[in-house]
Chain A
Amino acid sequence: MSYIPNIVFAIFLALGIGYFTKNVKKLIRNIRLGKEADVDGDKGQRWKNMARIALGQTKMVVRPIAGLMHIIVYLGFIIINIEVLEIIIDGLLGTHRIFAFMGGFYDFLIGSFEILALLVIIAVIVFWIRRNMIKLQRFIKPEMQGWPKKDGNLILYIELVLMLLFLTMNATDYQLQQMGAEHYSEAGSFPVSQFIAPLFDGMSQATLIAVERSAWWLHILGILFFLNYLYFSKHLHILLAFPNTFYGKLKPNGQFSNVEAVTNEVKLMLDPSADPFAATAEDDEEPGKFGASDVMDLNWVQLMNAYTCTECGRCTSECPANQTGKKLSPRKIMMDTRDRLEEVGKNMDANGGTFEPDGKQLLDDYISREELWACTTCNACVEACPVSIDPLSIILEMRRFLVMEQSAAPSELNNMMGNLENNGAPWPFNQMDRLNWAQEA
């Protein structure tokens, strides 16, 4: 009989972790739909970037208030995981506060969790106010209507409830400890929940145990729910920020990739003596398509970027095109890419693992040409992103598709390119006049 809670706990844990694993596999499969990415370069530098940007949150503090609040929630998240570990062991073994043997150190741990929990509650409230009452510009852009807005708020509610449950659990535990209830040996220190404890004054031991157990169960079930909610939320960044910053661009921002398949063809065109067979051999590896019109044409880092995007809108609020009222929003580029990738993934799930063409694509169905052509390639979005996402690289790949596959550049750009081809300058001037300025003293 007395093993029932342990078994129930084990089942919930297995279900929670099982479903999470299933979704992680799906995530990895979807990201792998992307093409190979150029991720060479200094490993040491990559580790450093990850430590600095993801762990150290250096880019968060560019905006000090949001940055500080975010660091609190983040620390709370990480450190409270130690508490979760204890809960899991207790749940499986039927013990209570298994780490209590650590004595003074344990008191210190529980004490600091409580303080963090309080800080997290404050941060969550501030975040909620920023999102819903102050109406910060970047949270009310068109792409934030509907689910993204709900998602942003929902996570705040979940965090709030989890923290309140944690404190309630401790408060009743503290009461039970004072009563000397069996099982509830004195352990931990309760700098915050001791102030909640008086709420439970005068309750019977049985009621207290019921409250404590409920809070304990709801807390861990809430955490399992949270874990599984991640996949469907922008909060996937909690996990993906690490690989994402690791694989972030190391080259100077201004350096755009040189398309290798093009290099081979251009060499052939410029050098009539080149061996045509050598080129055919390489033709096998040719992508068959230049640029990107759908998510499978992007590389896997770009797809991981899409899943990592936090929808914070820092990119969009720095984007000169967006600031001046144009349709382009780099955040929307990332959200569209993720939405389309999810759609492709669902299509594959429904068709036994292969993608059945659905008559849709990222270009036009999600991202319009108007957005693509509004970009000045200024790298403001890349610089602003706190998790090393590169929306510009997607914009460029899609422009490549438009120009090289469809010849669909705006006509003025076609004029410019025509001039470049014929005169070696974007304007219709004669190459032979290039040095005229030297005579015009």
Chain B
Amino acid sequence: MNVPTMASLFAEGKQPEVLFWVGCAGSFDDRAKKITKAFVKILNQAKVSFAVLGTEESCTGDPAKRAGNEFLFQMQAMTNIEVMNGYEVKKVVTTCPHCFNTLKNEYPGLGGNYEVIHHTTFLKQLLEEGKISMEGGSYRGKRITFHDPCYLGRANGIFEAPRELIQKLDAELVEMKSCKKRGLCCGAGGAQMFKEPEEGKKDVNIERTEQALETQPEIIAAACPFCNTMMTDGVKNKEKEASIKVMDVAELIADAEDL
């Protein structure tokens, strides 16, 4: 796996086309790291000129902002913007819809203007440009349901890119009863990931997992590391982990291509 950093390229006097923003989950969470690696394998395969910030990357500040801590958010944001502007970053791709939303929508007001792309959109572009192929066949006819991450779908209107990718795998895409604009949250957003939920009848991820199970899927696809964790927990809670896998769209593609 070839993972250049901005710093090392810079030392060689080089500038990658796109910065891969890994995100905190993608860097530290064991499950999410697998998504990161799958995506990098695809980038390598497609010979995309990219780099990561590595140790110079810091949280975008999304959980702080949504918890109400605007100070902490802006401190994070401005520090990150300084680093990215220092490297003259133009284009950013990220596997995390929370990073995507924050970088794309909230950084410009603080002086960080980049073309920000979610990895599903990016993968679709690579496919259209013929840089990757998805012939694998191992997913042909498999029932896959897609869980819309709120911060990708409702927050930014991206519903089709991940679906098109799944369909390109020749898989059978089945929709849950709440999908697209009316998709149900996995329960992790707004900093909920980092605290116990308030008291209620059940946890949000369980409700969402039940909706997913109703479609009798073989795979629950997601496009967000947090959704992935929440749905994986949900499937475990229902003791279905032996028969149903939760996978990121990037993992599906990397896997289909045997990367």
Contacts and interface: CB of A to CB of B under 8 A. Distances in A.
B194 A370 contact: no
Interface residues of B, number: 73
Interface stretch (A303-311, A343-351, A404-412): A404-412
Contacts, number: 220
B68 A291 contact: yes
Contact of A376 (B69, B192, B206): B192
B28 to A, nearest CB: 5
Tell me whether chain A's interface is mostly helix, strand or loop, or mixed: helix
B191 interface: yes
A412 B195 contact: yes
A393 to B, nearest CB: 12
B68 A255 contact: no
Interface in B24-78: 24, 26-29, 33, 36-37, 40, 52, 54-55, 57-59, 61, 63-72, 74-76, 78
Contacts of A255: 101, 105-106, 155
A252 B67 contact: no
A259 B75 CA distance: 12
Contacts of A17: none
B110 interface: yes
Contact of B68 (A267, A270, A400, A426): A400
Nearest to B157: A252
Contacts of A265: 71
A324 B204 contact: yes
Given A324-B201, A325-B201, A376-B150, 4 more contacts: A324-B202, A379-B150, A413-B195, A438-B3
B100 to A, nearest CB: 9
A434 B54 contact: yes
Contacts of A440: 33
B222 interface: no
B194 A426 contact: yes
Contacts of B106: 255-256, 258
B137 interface: no
B187 A326 contact: no
A171 to B, nearest CB: 46
B176 interface: no
Interface string A369-383: 010011111111011
A399 interface: yes
7 contacts: A252-B105, A253-B155, A267-B78, A320-B208, A376-B150, A410-B195, A416-B194
